A and B are shown apart, each in its own frame.
Chain A
Amino acid sequence: MSAFQNGAPPVRAIDDDSDVEEEALVADYREQVQFEDGMEELEPVTSLTMAQQTDDIQSRLAAAAQPLDFSAPLEVKFQSYDSYCSLFHFILNSEGPVDLEPPSYYWAWDVIDEFIYQFNSFSSYRARIARQANNEEEIQVLRDNPNTWGCYSVLNVLYSLIQRSQITEQLAAMKRNEDPMAVAGEYGSKSLYRMLGYFSIIGLLRVHTLLGDFSLALKTLDDIELNKKAMFARVMAAHFTTYYYVGFSYMMMRRYADAIRMFSHILVYVSRTKNFQKNAQYDSITKKNDQMYALIAICVAFHPTRLDDTIHTALREKYGDQLLKLQRGGPESLPIFEELFRTACPKFISPVPPDFDHPEANVDPIEHHLSIFMDEVKTNMFNPTLKSYLRLYTTMDLNKLAGFLEVDSEELRSWLLVNKQRSKQLRWSDQALLEGDLVNVSDIDYALQGDLIHISEAKVGRKLVDWYLRNLARTYA
């Protein structure tokens, strides 16, 4: 991204919706997929050599990356936890680094992904059992084993993998354009550790988001650069997951412009690669894909902006009706915000075991986070109406406008202040994810002189470059 950002004023550069970045990624991915196609012919040979060295550990490595059946009984969930513990113990606490090659380049991602997925679904399951309070047998088992799939042990695994692999140091060296191997150490120079460490960082992003710590989630990615050279870009699912969680965390921090940028980037990428996606990975992506469109709809309601054409069309197809209601605002929009949030949010969890003695005291964490999010929605729900009126005038009397809107003038002053305050947003510009510049993101600005409102609307010039490039490509491709 930096290449074409040089020299551009930072705020505009982000706004720039040229798609050079996505294009480069798509090209990369196509190459990679074709490369794999070539590899398939060689596979019999590879698996033969693999067969010779197949031993217990290789099958354990493979098993760790296998999804657990959704309906697996509690006992199997406990066993699965134990086998992860012993595998990670073996990898982390053997004498010196273990001499193993990961079975594939995406194995490390699959392991971390599955590990967190199981932690997530176990916690949700445990909370549900506590709320329903009708399965005495399982309640007893869960009561007796409060530390199975405990939050501290999951965090411990992720942080240990990060530390062992010196991945933070390696990424910092890469940022300085130095050789990461120089700081990788005995463990980190092995691809098994490096990959596990790297994907553990993305795992942490996910765990922090699941626990509702959105700023810590973004801070975790300080060392990872979100661009086409990122290691995660090679593994489609990792790439996708990262952008979903980063975008979601931005949304929860009221940084809607940044959230939209994240979701748009990955959705454009997915829409361009779907023609040469052949594996099952793609199916699992479809659901998250729709979730991200729902989140974009929410963000656009807070922060009206021009979207990429592809995204805009798909959004209208999937959530056209809802988007219209969200953009209209008012109390009628509240149920739509709730509906979209529930379908699109991560499956939030509580880090501690539920209160089995008081089933009714266990509130679903999703409802908890939703209710806090809705506070901000309610504060902002009159912005669309207000803006639609302000757009019509250059000066306006406060009391007259209050009459149109059927509110008293004190109420209207509050609306005006709220809308004005929310027109400034922290926006990322080439620093760490949590950083940003406070910029004005609204196309309408106003000031009050007593009861007289002075309004000015920003004139948005037509954006032609993107259109021009697209048509050039279409004509001469």
Chain B
Amino acid sequence: MNGEDPQERPELIKNIINGLERYNPEAAGTLESYLQEQCDQKFCDASANRALLKLYQLNPDRINNEAITNTLVKCMTLFPSPQFDLALHLLSPAIANPSAANAGSSTSELAEAVAKLRALNAQLEGAQYARFWATMDSDDLYADLTTDIAGFEEMIRVRIAQLVSQAFREVNLSVLEAWLGINDEAEARKYVTEACGWKVDADGVVQIPRNPENEAKKAEIREYVNVDMFSRVIRRAWEAAA
């Protein structure tokens, strides 16, 4: 899985998450600074971050709000993937799913932030990219929540471009503009040609090079037969004869 076990993971972290140290509340500090490192250096170790969330789950007094939201934002950059959900499952229900009775008056700041990130993630998972950028612009809180993650918008943009290239052979520049959250035709053209290396023709249609994903080749699924599947029949025939 994407971002599950990155090469960047240092020995120290390996020892924590693969051993009993992952249950030691003191390990939270180390995992938190490792998370910070991931935020600064644009890689993601979802497995180590879940070990941190697990420590919070077992020791709620240790909870660090920022580490939780940063973990979720990191997971979000891996879309589409189950990583964000796997992280949510480890949060206490009071944070991830505050009850209706409790909503409004006493919802914590953290619960509110998690709810916002969850809605944002749903838009990425649902491939509603134009809506995602609109949501990002709708409230300053989103900027606050993603500010610790270096290159957040850029990572999302690259990922969207990747996913588009897996489904499209040609796409209108105007569609891409909205999806990439670039509200300027000249800039969008620049991004598409320079960052993605795609060509834009005279009618404003972006040409995406062929790749195995956007070919949609006809496939035939055949049954695979080998001798071993018949071993029992053959043995029985042999035994019956003998």
Contact among A350, A361, A420 with B102 in the assembled complex (CB-CB below 8 Å): A361
Query: Which residues of B184-240 have CB atoms within 8 Å of chain A's CB atoms?
Result: 205, 213-226, 228-233, 236
> In the assembly, what is the distance between CA of A378 and CA of B123, in Å?
11
Residue from A155, A212, A426, A456 with most neighbouring chain B CB atoms (10 Å): A212
CA distance A411 to B132 in the complex (A): 13
Known: A155-B23, A352-B58. A213 touches B99 (CB 8 A): no
CA distance A405 to B159 in the complex (A): 28
Q: Is the CB–CB distance between A465 and B225 below 8 Å?
A: yes
A195-239 interface with B by 8 A CB criterion: 211-216
Q: Is A300 an interface residue (CB 8 A)?
A: no
Q: Is the C-beta of A290 less than 8 angstroms from some C-beta in chain B?
A: no
With A213-B54, A469-B233 as contacts: A410 and B130 at CB distance below 8 Å? yes
Determine whether A45 belongs to the interface, using a CB cutoff of 8 Å to chain B.
no
Question: Is B218's CB under 8 angstroms from A211's CB?
Answer: no
Contacts of B4 in A (CB 8 A): 215, 434
A460 within 8 A of B: yes
Mark interface residues in A450-477 (1 if CB within 8 Å of B CB, else 0).
1000111111111111000100110010
The residues of A that contact B218 with a CB separation of less than 8 Å are 456-459
The residue that B221 contacts in the complex, of A350, A414, A456, A459, with Cβ under 8 A, is A459
A447/B89 contact (C-beta < 8 A), A363-B97, A461-B222 known: no
Q: Does A280 contact B (CB under 8 A)?
A: no
Those of A1-24 within 8 Å (CB) of chain B? 3-4, 6-9, 12-13, 15-16, 18, 20, 23
A213–B58 alpha-carbon span in the complex (Å): 12
Q: Report the separation of the CA atoms of residues A7 and B215 in the bound assembly, to the nearest whole angstrom.
A: 29
- A447 and B221 in contact, given A20-B232, A23-B232, A360-B101 (Cβ under 8 angstroms): no
B171 within 8 A of A: yes
CB distance from B207 to the nearest CB of A (A): 10
B225 touches A212 (CB 8 A): no
Q: Would A445 and B223 count as touching, CB distance under 8 A?
A: no
How many A-B residue pairs have C-beta atoms within 8 angstroms? Tell me.
187
Is A367 a contact of B23 with CB atoms below 8 Å? no
**In the assembled complex, A46 has its CB within 8 A of some CB on chain B:** no
Contacts of A418 in B (CB 8 A): 80, 125-127
For window 152-183 of chain A, which residues contact chain B by CB distance below 8 Å? 152, 155, 159
In the bound complex, how far is the Cα of B219 from the Cα of A378, in angstroms?
29
Interface centre among A15, A350, A379 (most CB of B within 10 A): A379
Interface flags, A293-329, vs B, CB<8A=1, else 0:
0000000000000000000000000000000000000
Beyond A379-B125, A472-B233, is A16–B1 a contact (Cβ under 8 Å)?
A: no
Cα–Cα distance between A6 and B224 once the two chains are bound (Å): 12
Q: Please tell me if A422 contacts chain B, counting CB pairs below 8 Å.
A: yes
A150 to B170, CA, bound (A): 58
Residues of chain B at interface, number, CB under 8 A: 66
Which residue of chain B is the closest to A368 with respect to CB atoms? Answer: B93
Q: A12 CA to B4 CA in the complex, in Å?
A: 25
State whether B167 touches A420 (Cβ < 8 A): yes
Does the CB pair B94–A372 fall under 8 Å?
Answer: no
Nearest CB of A to B223, in Å:
5
Nearest A residue to B5 by beta-carbon distance? A434
From residue 346 to 404 of chain A, which have CB atoms closer than 8 A to chain B?
350-352, 355, 358, 360-365, 367-369, 371-373, 375-376, 378-379
CA distance A274 to B138 in the complex (A): 60
Q: Is residue B183 within 8 Å, beta carbon to beta carbon, of the partner chain?
A: no
A253 at the interface (CB under 8 A from B): yes
**Using Cβ atoms and an 8 Å threshold, which residues of chain A touch B156?**
none
A413 CB-CB contact with B under 8 Å: yes
A448-B169 contact, Cβ under 8 Å, with A216-B54, A461-B220: yes
- B230, A469: Cβ atoms under 8 Å? yes
Report the separation of the CA atoms of residues A372 and B92 in the bound assembly, to the nearest whole angstrom. 12
- The answer on a CB contact under 8 Å between B99 and A363 is yes
Q: Are B224 and A420 neighbours in the complex by a CB distance under 8 Å?
A: no
Question: Contacts of B166 on A, CB cut-off 8 Å?
Answer: 420-421
Does A252 sit at the interface, judged by CB under 8 A?
yes
Q: Is B6 an interface residue (CB 8 A)?
A: no
B127 contacts A414, C-beta separation under 8 Å = yes
Q: Is residue A151 contacting chain B, with contact meaning CB distance below 8 A?
A: yes
Interface string of B62-100 (1 = CB under 8 A from A): 000000000000000000101001101110111011110
Contact with A along B30-69 (1 / 0, CB 8 A): 0000000000000000010010001001101000000000
- Is A84 in the interface zone, CB < 8 Å from B? no
Closest to B118 in A: A375
| Interface residue from B167, B175, B230 paired with A416 (Cβ < 8 Å) | B167
B163 within 8 A of A: yes
Whether, in the assembled complex, B172 has its beta carbon less than 8 Å from a beta carbon of chain A, the answer is yes
List B96-134 residues whose CB lies under 8 Å from chain A. 96-99, 101-102, 106, 118, 122, 125-128, 130
Inter-subunit contact B171/A448 (CB<8 Å): yes
**Minimum C-beta distance from A222 to chain B (A):** 10
- Complex alpha-carbon distance, A215 and B82, angstroms: 11
Residues of B within 8 A of A350 (CB): 92-93
The closest CB in chain A to the CB of B167 belongs to A420
Q: What separation, in Å, do the CA atoms of A13 and B60 have in the docked complex? A: 45
Q: In the complex, what's the smallest C-beta–C-beta distance from B36 to chain A, in angstroms?
A: 22
- B152 CB–A CB distance under 8 Å: no
Minimum CB distance partner of A416 in chain B: B167
**Least CB separation from B99: chain A residue:** A363
Task: Indicate if A98 sits at the interface (CB-CB under 8 A).
Answer: no
Nearest A residue (CB) for B121 = A375
B8 to chain A, nearest CB (A): 19
Instruction: Give the docked Cα–Cα distance between A470 and B48 (Å).
Output: 48
Q: Nearest Cβ distance between residue A402 and chain B, in whole angstroms?
A: 14
Say whether, besides A215-B86, A376-B85, A367 and B223 are in contact (CB < 8 Å). Answer: no
Expressed in whole angstroms, the Cα–Cα distance for A369 and B91 within the complex equals 10
A414 to B85, CA, bound (A): 20
Contact A360 B99 (CB under 8 A): yes
B216 touches A446 (CB 8 A): yes
What's the Cα separation between A12 and B85 when bound, in Å?
Answer: 29
What are the 6 A-B residue pairs with the smallest beta carbon separation, nearest first? A363-B93, A417-B127, A4-B228, A368-B93, A212-B89, A447-B216
Given A12-B224, A363-B93, 7 other A-B contacts at CB below 8 A? A212-B89, A351-B58, A360-B101, A372-B89, A458-B221, A461-B221, A465-B225
Q: 24 A-B pairs, CB-CB below 8 angstroms?
A: A3-B228, A20-B231, A213-B54, A216-B54, A351-B58, A355-B94, A361-B99, A361-B102, A363-B94, A365-B93, A371-B96, A376-B85, A379-B125, A415-B127, A417-B164, A434-B4, A448-B171, A450-B170, A450-B205, A455-B216, A459-B219, A460-B220, A469-B232, A469-B233
